[in-house]
Structure 1
């Protein structure tokens, strides 16, 4: 792993992971770790900036550099070792060895300098080398002048150019020889004090990082990794190609010769850019659960991409991380309020997988990732039993109707609706017996007065005979028709025609026309035995059916408001209103109905989880007094707000074959695809692929990847042409791999009032929450 340039914490992490932190009892890091995020792995050039006054650069074993500029570009180039010029001194073209030796002796005696004799093989003439090599031309000129003063004016200065690799080049070459599979090609280890070494030990393919800014100090090259930060990193984060990141931006050369760019950032600051990227839904407890999961995953996956020089990627292959720009107030609060808390199992941080939408149940890890983890067990994405719906309940103090007679079911709704529109309701619980009894005088008076008001007539006089058909017919004729209509417009023949039922002869003569017109117009109806029982009072049920007939014919039936719900909040009904929502108070004495099958039933309480169609009426204050609920067809689990709750994908047989062939070789011609084995959550754990070359099996998460589906929780519907499958329709739920914490489920549970620690423990079986630092 590359040295962590923000602190000397790398060795501590390695020791913590290998020793006491993993002792199976406790997990404790002591201090916050640094996380290395590989932002780019193949850049030719990057721009690094800050809004601060100056960038600061860091490299291993070097003091920090104030670059005196707030913008640099960084690239890579082939390493060019420095060329050093040396100056030596010769007296040339001496004809004999004796002359050369005599001259050398004289120089030694006169100057005290060394003098060595050598022959030039090119012309077989002798040379005397005088003194030591000088490093600068000024030193060389002065030395030559001093020799001339002592009588040796024919000395010649000879310039030699020599390539001398730097100590860093030697150290980097040594690092690369022992780096194994590491793809890092910049010096990240401590540079040992080294004497100049022979050139043949230097790797010929070294490349160096080139920093180029507007100031002199910001233009340099380095064989080491280079990290860039701001003078005030918290207030002015460093930017990579314009995008701000906390911590530092480290750049080094990789095995392709291009640049790898890594954000080296304290874990808690890293999470500020992860939590809103992974779960932006507006529930603090859900985001706190996400913070714990993301923190745990990060610690458990340190060094996952170690050979590439970093820990994790900023994508779904690790965790989505978008830097400073994505940070939110709620996300930051979630990270701060859970600082250092991780999920552990048997004293070790868990591999805290999480998924967008689990489709109602999560899955056992071995059915997706081929590794059975005891803490990654499939669970329901809901609270247990009735408790799951408690936060969404709408309740009433009214007693539900108690019925045996199915015929009275609709009358409960009718009476309730009439009651909220002025009709008297004289019982606390509607029963068959109540409907079968005759209404009292007070009820009849109220009900007929309500009709009179609607019809614009005077209130009728009511007595004990009013509920009997003959007297009721007289009153209704006066309310519904112009006085004298029945007697004037119906002949005796007409009356007899409409009164041709068994006990018509019992109707008083002066009421026959009144009852006949009511029969003709559908207001009065007979009993099942073809009688009217003119001397027996109407029951409440018959009276209510009569009122319903009048309301329907006059088109007076109350118009209920209709809407689609969102999840109820604190007993309030929440309705969708375009892209927004509005809340309505539901009265404690609301008339409450829920549809089961094709009928509405009065109930004591009902859950509004979101997606239900409601029909309702409000009182003068705007509170709901009458409410009918049509259940949603969408799932009711905690993740039901997700856009991936339900989905359908149709593919031709050839498309299915093409996709599967990328993962399964040798299928031949595809004949059929079947789910061979399902996991806990009913996800496809194995599929059977039947082709002309035999039967192949595809397992786990590869199923979703191969078929390119949202999830692997699906059923398959096949269309045939003869005996040949021509297309496959996958109808499924969820989005993601389905293992670990369901993010939309966490949001749903948080909306129910569940705290983050309970959310985490719900999805991760048998874990503990531990403060790691």
Structure 2
């Protein structure tokens, strides 16, 4: 388990350190907010950049104490990655000055300017929230680790493989390669670094539950076991109806099309101004849809909502697209399921069967308080 890191400034540090550790970097021994915030030492940089050079098949770069600051670090990292200055080769003076248009760019030494410009353009180094690079100050370990991890990943120098997960156990992960051909089962090491996506970030976790469909990136050790794993949730979720292409649906309509569909269900209300859900049932299904027009308001209630609008289900939400004047030009109904919402979901029952539930448990999951009895 990774040591706890709580500072927002170090949000990417656990992943940076773990992904580097899986590739032979000694980055995790003292991982903490205090250690990450402290300035990197020249000895640490020599070790880190030496390993970068080894992965890039380049000779060890010459690392001086100046490399502990942003300009010198950019030049040393460029040497470790390419054996030379890519920025000096590919950027002319106009490019460099154009890319170094931040507040304290004047503090970047002339001999480092093209490397800083190139590293900024490639995203390997970044500015502080106030729009400065702080070239005269030592780099923190957190920023160095992030720069190295970002550069190695961007150059495809990390041996990460990508796949789609299948329903799996805790000890072995069943994967379908990105090529889509075949499946493979890999053991997950007991001390593997595990990361799961929440929102836009990857965070360390103790375990990952795979239901199938998750996108994963992983690294295997010399023993063939997964020692680093990151996973993004399946877009279809974890519900038992996720196997159906109709579990989630979307249908867009113009205001005039909505009025056309509702023509036999509501009185004339003039030009459509809005449609609003006024009431939902205990299951979340729409029980009362208000139709607001320029000359009146009407309601569609109960099971007529689905049939009047010709939607698959009454379990939906409504998104709106506006024009420059603020008028709605399109309504998008986003929903789940296909049917009247009563009784047993056939796709859900299929999903429960795939999960190993017996027929009686499946029936009882849909019909509460029943008993299954043999009648003949």
- Tell me the TM-score range normalised by the shorter chain: 0.5 to 0.7
Contact 2:244 2:347 in 1 (8 A): yes
Within 1, Cα distance between the matches of 2:261 and 2:164?
39
Within 1, Cα distance between the matches of 2:267 and 2:309?
17
Residue 636 of structure 1, aligned match among 238, 251, 270: 238
Residue 521 of structure 1, aligned match among 115, 118, 125: 115
Relative contact order higher in (CA < 8 Å, ≥ 6 apart): 1
Within 1, Cα distance between the matches of 2:330 and 2:41?
67
Contact 2:45 2:68 in 1 (8 A): no
**Which residue of 2 is the match for residue 770 of structure 1?**
373
**Which residue of 1 is the match for residue 160 of structure 2?**
560
Structure 2 counterparts to residues 687-706 of structure 1, below 5 A = 687-688=289-290, 698-706=300-308
Report how far residue 692 of structure 1 moved.
Answer: 11
Q: Does 1:433 align with 2:38?
A: no
- Give the structure with the higher percent strand: 1
Report how far residue 542 of structure 1 moved.
Answer: 5.5
Contact 1:653 1:670 in 2 (8 A): no
Residue 617 of structure 1, aligned match among 216, 219, 222: 219
Question: Residues 449 and 651 of structure 1: is their aligned pair in 2 closer, same or farther, counting only changes over 3 Å?
Answer: closer
Report how far residue 734 of structure 1 moved.
Answer: 0.8
Structure 2 counterparts to residues 725-764 of structure 1, below 5 A = 728-764=331-367
Within 1, Cα distance between the matches of 2:179 and 2:152?
33
Higher Rg of the two aligned structures = 1
Within 2, Cα distance between the matches of 1:432 and 1:612?
31
Structure 2 counterparts to residues 39-188 of structure 1, below 5 A = none
Question: Residues 435 and 725 of structure 1: is their aligned pair in 2 closer, same or farther, counting only changes over 3 Å?
Answer: closer
Within 1, Cα distance between the matches of 2:257 and 2:149?
58
Q: Does 1:450 align with 2:55?
A: no
**Which residue of 2 is the match for residue 681 of structure 1?**
283
**Which residue of 2 is the match for residue 336 of structure 1?**
none
- Secondary structure, aligned partner of 1:741: coil
Report how far residue 638 of structure 1 moved.
Answer: 2.4
Contact 1:525 1:532 in 2 (8 A): no
Contact 1:566 1:576 in 2 (8 A): no
- Secondary structure, aligned partner of 1:417: helix
Q: TM-score, normalised by structure 1?
A: 0.36
**Which residue of 2 is the match for residue 669 of structure 1?**
268
- Secondary structure, aligned partner of 2:17: helix
Report how far residue 735 of structure 1 moved.
Answer: 0.8
Report how far residue 630 of structure 1 moved.
Answer: 2.8
Within 2, Cα distance between the matches of 1:702 and 1:445?
72
Contact 2:163 2:177 in 1 (8 A): yes
Within 1, Cα distance between the matches of 2:220 and 2:238?
27
Question: Residues 413 and 467 of structure 1: is their aligned pair in 2 closer, same or farther, counting only changes over 3 Å?
Answer: farther
Question: Residues 757 and 581 of structure 1: is their aligned pair in 2 closer, same or farther, counting only changes over 3 Å?
Answer: farther
Structure 2 counterparts to residues 269-668 of structure 1, below 5 A = 398-399=1-2, 401-427=3-29, 430-436=31-37, 447-453=48-54, 454-457=56-59, 468-469=65-66, 517=111, 521-522=115-116, 531-532=136-137, 540-541=141-142, 543-544=144-145, 547-548=148-149, 551=152, 555=155, 557-558=157-158, 560-569=160-169, 571-575=172-176, 582-585=183-186, 586-620=188-222, 622-651=224-253, 656=258, 659-660=261-262, 664=265, 667-668=266-267
Contact 1:584 1:624 in 2 (8 A): no
Within 2, Cα distance between the matches of 1:500 and 1:670?
65
1:436-486 CA distances to partner (integer Å, 9 max, x unpaired)?
4678999767535424534543699xxxxx895489979959x7568xxxx
1:290-334 CA distances to partner (integer Å, 9 max, x unpaired)?
xxxxxxxxxxxxxxxxxxxxxxxxxxxxxxxxxxxxxxxxxxxxx
Report how far residue 726 of structure 1 moved.
Answer: 7.5
The number of residues matched between the two structures is 334
Within 1, Cα distance between the matches of 2:178 and 2:60?
43
1:408-442 CA distances to partner (integer Å, 9 max, x unpaired)?
22232222222222222452x73213334678999
1:655-697 CA distances to partner (integer Å, 9 max, x unpaired)?
54555456x4xx4535455544311122122445678998765
**Which residue of 1 is the match for residue 87 of structure 2?**
none
Question: Residues 709 and 433 of structure 1: is their aligned pair in 2 closer, same or farther, counting only changes over 3 Å?
Answer: same
Within 1, Cα distance between the matches of 2:106 and 2:180?
60
Q: TM-score, normalised by structure 2?
A: 0.66
Within 2, Cα distance between the matches of 1:690 and 1:459?
70
Question: Residues 669 and 544 of structure 1: is their aligned pair in 2 closer, same or farther, counting only changes over 3 Å?
Answer: closer
